[in-house]
Amino acid sequence: MTSPTPSGPPLRVVIADNDPDALDLLDLDLTLEGHDIAGRGRNGEDAIRLCRELSPDVLVVDLRMPPGPDGLAVVGELQGQAGLSMIVYTNYRDAKLAARAERLGASYLLKGDLRTLRAVLAQIPRT
């Protein structure tokens, strides 16, 4: 069992990335921050299935995860799932993709910027 974060109980998080090292780093960091990693996926289809099955508070999803749906397609598919906040976590610095993510209701963050990821997670309401 994880300990509560400073702003409330832990968030239940699904993470999805096709890079196993990036997935492990994200898992480790979020766990150390006190969040509950409810599920881990290696592609967009995993992300969608895990979110539908587990009803997490947050999805942190990579942008590019070939083959299959990319992170923005995943966000579009899950848009409107009650209680789900979504973060596209990517290496791609692209204002158009960031604007598209925001239109879909997701945050768009650059990988490696763990401080910003932590700050965004701290703003998500706990249930």
pLDDT of residue 19: 94
SS3 content of the chain, % helix, strand, coil (to 5): 40, 20, 40
- Encode burial over 83-97: b for 16+ CB neighbours within 10 A, e otherwise: ebbbbbbbeeeeeeb
Name the pLDDT band for 127 (thresholds 50, 70, 90): low
Tens-digit pLDDT profile for residues 39-63? 999 999 999 999 999 999 999 999 9
In a domain, 7, yes or no: no
Residue 64 has pLDDT above 50, yes or no: yes
pLDDT of residue 38: 97
In a domain, 103, yes or no: yes
**Segments forming the whole domain that contains residue 72:** 12-122
The angle that helices 71-78 and 95-103 make with each other, rounded to 10 degrees, is 10
- Say if CB 61 and CB 26 are below 8 A apart: no
How far is 48 from 56, CA to CA, in rounded Å?
Answer: 11
In a domain, 5, yes or no: no
In a domain, 107, yes or no: yes
In a domain, 3, yes or no: no
In a domain, 6, yes or no: no
Give the C-alpha distances (Å, rounded to integers) separating 99 from 27, 96, 122. Answer: 26, 5, 22
The number of distinct structural domains making up the chain is 1
- Say if CB 108 and CB 97 are below 8 A apart: yes
Tens-digit pLDDT profile for residues 11-23? 999 999 999 999 9
What CATH number is associated with residue 91?
3.40.50.2300
